[in-house]
Amino acid sequence: MNNKKSEPLFHVIKRDDMTRGKAWGIRAISIVAALLLCALVTTVLTGDNPISVYATMFSGAFGSARKTWVTLQSLSILLIISLALTPAFRMRFWNCGGEGQVLMGGLAAAACMVTLDGKLPNALVIIIMIIASIAAGAIWGFIPAICKAKWNTNETLSTLMMNYIATQIVAYYTVLWESPKGSGKIGIINQNSNIGWLPEIGNKYLLSILVALLVTGFLYIYIYYSKHGYEICVVGESERTANYVGIKVPKVIVRTMLVSGALCGLAGLLLVGGINHTITTTIAGGQGFTAIMVSWLAKFNPITMIFTSLLIIFLGRGAGEIATVFELNQSFSDILTGIILFFIIGCEFFIRYKLVFRSGKKEEVKNV
Amino acid sequence: MTDKNVAVSVKNLSKSFGNVKANKNVNMEIYKGEILALLGENGSGKTTLMNMLSGLYYPDSGQIFIDGKEASIQSPRDAYTYGIGMVHQHFKLVDVLTAAENITLGEEGKLNIKKATAKIKEICDKYGFEVDPQKKIFNMSVSEKQTVEIVKVLYRGADILILDEPTAVLTPQETEKLFVVLKNMKADGKAVIIITHKLNEVEEISDRVAVLRAGEYIGDMITAETNAQEMTNMMVGHQVTLNIERPEPKEPKPRIIVEGLTVKDIDGITKLEDVSFIARSGEILGIAGISGCGQKELLESIAGLQHVESGSVKYVNDDGSVEELIGMNPQDIAEKGVALSFVPEDRLGMGLVGNMDIADNMMLRSFRNNGSLFTDKKTPHDLAETIVDKLEVSTPSIETPVRQLSGGNVQKVLVGREISNAPSVLMTAYAVRGLDINSSYTIYDLINEQKKKGTAVIFVGEDLDVLLQISDRILVLCDGQVSGIVEGKKADKNTIGLMMTRLEGGMTNE
């Protein structure tokens, strides 16, 4: 009975006393620590000077006016997709189908461009494209939502599987609309007539950026000030509470996923009609999944999401630049991105908990 | 209490959660062969202290001595090796396994169910338990499940037993049985610690009471030398009066007429069968019954949250016109102008949203009221301030998520919201469950205040003493059926206890 045990080395204690400033302090420390570790890894593995690697990273994202615009444009698309997922996430509906919803939106836009070329005036084509791609995204969100609302199916699985269906549908149309024949891709649609190309505002990057800003503002108000936003929050926290006050849960689930899918469709429209003027199965580029992380990192706050998507885009573009300039392969930049994300996500642990060590009463706020 | 053999002694034990000091330098001793009642208001640190003894929490500082030797209890398994076992308020049993399987669960080595059954039998005979080792948990009543929990703890060789509110779910008769067993354990030299809010039980069962207040150890008293009033004052820290008033109903008129209500759950099991009664304005109708015998379904049927097989629930307006409530959802009911308020049993899972602040929780009922697309944040915020102010809710701010409040304050927020729209019907389910004395009396006063305003109150309770004091009439449910309606003033606890366990039990006593 008396098997004497010593006190544990440390134990983990939940903390409630975290101020916002202190939390951001911890996040800043974690980024610095991540950069130090990346520097070490870089020097050990490649022998390159870490300072110049970081400088290259920065210039990769903001090195020239064009690079800055491209960075901002990529940021806008990622931001719109992240914002699109947010209402669903606030409802605890884990929409992992951003990828498919974007693809379907893009496909609808491409379909309008291909089939309506020369049949309708450009302005009308664009209006139809907007409606079609938003509707296509919304339908792709609606299907898993209605299954969840009616039969309580697991939305994570159904939204994921809808992605594969979307990819295969796009693959089918890629063959159907192949141009030139035998190339295995669609190529630039309406290269000469420019029918269905979204108008440029100022330069070819600004349109997406403006749309992203509009969506951010809209979603901020929708989430925090509208009755819909309030209902979403109640349903997410507790369906029983929602029933108790007479909120119709299935209706809220379906309505929210329509909004979520529609905004993804909008991102698809911008990708096809505004940026690429073509469609491939990989046009969403995994951003439907990256957006999940962006939205979570921002704690589902649309304004914070601007910064978290900037971070992800900056890392991605910077890492790509390192790979080319230092003639390292893409895998090395993935290693660096991975380390940085690990630190950023890991530091949330230290914001929520503290470690108390055996001997002293010192608080441990160190990262890692 | 002739030989004072110390079983456990704690020295300067402290534990904090964030900024909250749950226990501050607690010093206390627990003796063998004694039943100790641990008293304290909600949030006074009773459960935290016991959780440290049973290995769920590790103390920030201080020492625990078992049989005079310093102990480091890092897990419930460690606690067992030191002979400490705890029976939690919420049972931790596997439903599809038998009693014997649950009791031996987690044992190391090869399972010998025959040997185990023999040992269980031995324990049962020794202390007077009645357990069928082969019975599956899902076939058991709450009291049987509790017995299994206690036997489990004894099976693992516990000499120090901690029971967290064991009587909250039991009928008076079952409580008596439990107390007999506890006394047998005490005679066997075991140390028993019981946490409870019911002072009459403390007086009946315990040898000594220890009082905690705001995380600090206040002192102990020999039970025989004290009384309920003294214990309460010590817990609260100032003088309180322990009376629930029962004003005469003013011109009671039928408000809710329930006829032939029958409800089945998803599995087709009958939860309510042919229930009929009338709730009148200006009157408190108490509902008594063993937990899970249809109270929840009854209230939820009236509130429009439960699918009903047959029967009707009629609401009588002041002018005598009648609305049928069955088939309507809560929103329809509200739109009909029926001011129906409902304080459900599950406060944070149903009545409130734990992660939202007090102001946002106020909006739950009223957010649809304005015509615009946007929510009105000002009115709920003002209401929240009024409630915090009037009901003395202790909270850092209106913006604090309600899950961070203590049980009593959560209930004040919920009741405050439900009575804010001048209800004509107020239903409460276990309104004071888990609340300390002070908060409980605040809630009783609020309910009585509504009664005086002419509200028809339906009060589902579990403490028969309280039900008998507050109710004008008491409806007793047994297994989903009405076993009788008695006058609150004339009823006695024993009759109601018997009616709870069998239909018409009080009348057809053998």
pLDDT tens digits for A199-224? 988 888 999 999 999 999 999 999 99
Closest-CA distance of chain A to residue B17, Å: 6
Rounded Cα distance, B208 and B36, in Å: 5
Q: Where are the beta strands (DSSP E) in B369-478?
A: 425-429, 456-460, 473-478
**C-alpha of A344 from chain center:** 16
pLDDT of residue B508: 39
Provide ipTM, 2 decimals.
Answer: 0.80
pLDDT of residue B392: 84
CB contact under 8 A, A244 and B353: no
Residues of chain A with Cβ-Cβ distance to B305 below 8 Å are: 243-244
Residues of chain B with Cβ-Cβ distance to A229 below 8 Å are: 375
CATH of domain B6-236: 3.40.50.300
Taking phi over 0 as left and psi of -120 to 50 as alpha, with beta for the rest, B23 belongs to beta
Q: Where are the beta strands (DSSP E) in B445-507?
A: 456-460, 473-478, 481-487
Residues of chain A with Cβ-Cβ distance to B368 below 8 Å are: 227
- Write down the pTM of the prediction: 0.79
Rounded Cα distance, A345 and A189, in Å: 41
pLDDT of residue B56: 87
- Tokens at B452, concatenated: 């005086």
Q: How is chain B split into domains, by residue range?
A: 6-236, 252-339+423-437+454-510, 349-421
Count of H-run helices and E-run strands, chain A: 13, 3
Closest-CA residue of A relative to B377 is A225
Residues of chain B with Cβ-Cβ distance to A17 below 8 Å are: 18-19
Preferred mutation among A234, A244, A362 to probe B, highest tally of B CBs within 10 A: A244
Closest-CA residue of A relative to B365 is A245
pLDDT of residue A180: 81
Closest-CA distance of chain B to residue A6, Å: 7
CB contact under 8 A, A234 and B332: no
**C-alpha of B421 from chain center:** 27
The residue type of B128 is G
Which of B144, B100, B147, B98 lies closest to B119 in space, CA to CA? B100
CB contact under 8 A, B375 and A15: no
**C-alpha of B165 from chain center:** 8
pLDDT of residue A220: 97
pLDDT of residue A124: 95
Interface contact B166, partner A, CB < 8 A: no
Count of H-run helices and E-run strands, chain B: 16, 20
CB contact under 8 A, A11 and B58: yes
Edge-to-edge strand order for the sheet containing A353-357? A10-14, A353-357, A363-364
B252-339+423-437+454-510: what CATH class? alpha beta
CB contact under 8 A, B374 and A233: no
Interface contact B364, partner A, CB < 8 A: yes
CB contact under 8 A, B78 and A17: no
Q: How deeply is A327 buried, as exposed, middle or buried, from its count of CB atoms within 10 A (0-12, 13-18, 19+)? A: exposed
Residues of chain A with Cβ-Cβ distance to B80 below 8 Å are: none
Which of B296, B303, B409 lies closest to B361 in space, CA to CA? B409
Rounded Cα distance, A179 and A97, in Å: 29
pLDDT < 50 regions, chain A: 1-4, 360-368
Closest-CA residue of A relative to B366 is A245
CB contact under 8 A, A244 and B351: yes
pLDDT < 70 regions, chain B: 1-3, 18, 503-510
The residue type of A229 is G
Which of A324, A1, A4 lies closest to B70 in space, CA to CA? A4
Q: Are B83 and B155 in contact (CB under 8 A)?
A: no
Nearest to A7 among B17, B72, B373 (CB): B72
